[in-house]
A and B are shown apart, each in its own frame.
Chain A
Amino acid sequence: GAGVSQTPSNKVTEKGKYVELRCDPISGHTALYWYRQSLGQGPEFLIYFQGTGAADDSGLPNDRFFAVRPEGSVSTLKIQRTERGDSAVYLCASSFLTGGADTQYFGPGTRLTVL
């Protein structure tokens, strides 16, 4: 079946602009995670959803970052007033459960570059 997909694959924007990054999880997966990864670092947790609600958003760095998952499937990560420090690869992952041996399946990521 289809894996996790993310669009766009690359996004170049100017400082101060607004961007939206989209994630389509694997069908039937109730949990959805957003991470960002900088070069030479591991993925850094941002937020995760269980169904439609944000179960934990403690990783969002500040209030410029926001994410939604209105119908419990597709999710959008929104970044306002982008800064150069936001440049990174944004990864989305989904899993069937959130405990036990649940395996997170990652999408290919969106490479965000803020000029």
Chain B
Amino acid sequence: GQNIDQPTEMTATEGAIVQINCTYQTSGFNGLFWYQQHAGEAPTFLSYNVLDGLEEKGRFSSFLSRSKGYSYLLLKELQMKDSASYLCAVRVVSGGSYIPTFGRGTSLIVHP
């Protein structure tokens, strides 16, 4: 099976930068996704990495190292609305199926 590990909770200050790490152990790796989920709402897509390196999208960036089984999500210029759970999801391919496995999420609290 897949094993995905991310911190349970992080706190940060408005305007600051925060890095949320995700480590994984899997076979058949086929991409890593980051989702944002506000309390009581559905997850929304943030980023996708399948090759090593950094993907930048506005205030959010995501990094992947396949050899290390490691990714991080970087949030810049934090805003109060960024308080949410951030889910790391690894997709594997097995027998023609593409199955995503989610970590338990990192609850980010942004304070003034």
Give the B-binding residues of A (Cβ under 8 A).
4, 33, 35, 40-45, 48, 55-56, 58-59, 91, 98-101, 103-109
Contacts and interface: CB of A to CB of B under 8 A. Distances in A.
Interface of B: 4, 30-31, 33, 41-45, 48, 50, 87, 89, 93, 96-105
A107 B33 CA distance: 17
Contacts of B89: 42
Chain A interface helix/strand/loop/mixed: loop
B38 to A, nearest CB: 11
Enumerate the 7 nearest inter-chain pairs by beta-carbon distance, A residue then B residue, closest first. A42-B102, A106-B42, A56-B97, A98-B98, A103-B45, A101-B48, A43-B102
Given A41-B105, A58-B97, A105-B45, 14 more contacts: A41-B104, A42-B4, A42-B87, A42-B103, A42-B104, A45-B99, A56-B99, A91-B42, A100-B31, A103-B48, A104-B45, A106-B43, A107-B42, A109-B42
16 contacts: A35-B102, A42-B104, A42-B105, A43-B43, A45-B101, A48-B98, A55-B96, A55-B97, A56-B99, A58-B99, A91-B42, A91-B43, A99-B30, A100-B31, A104-B100, A106-B43
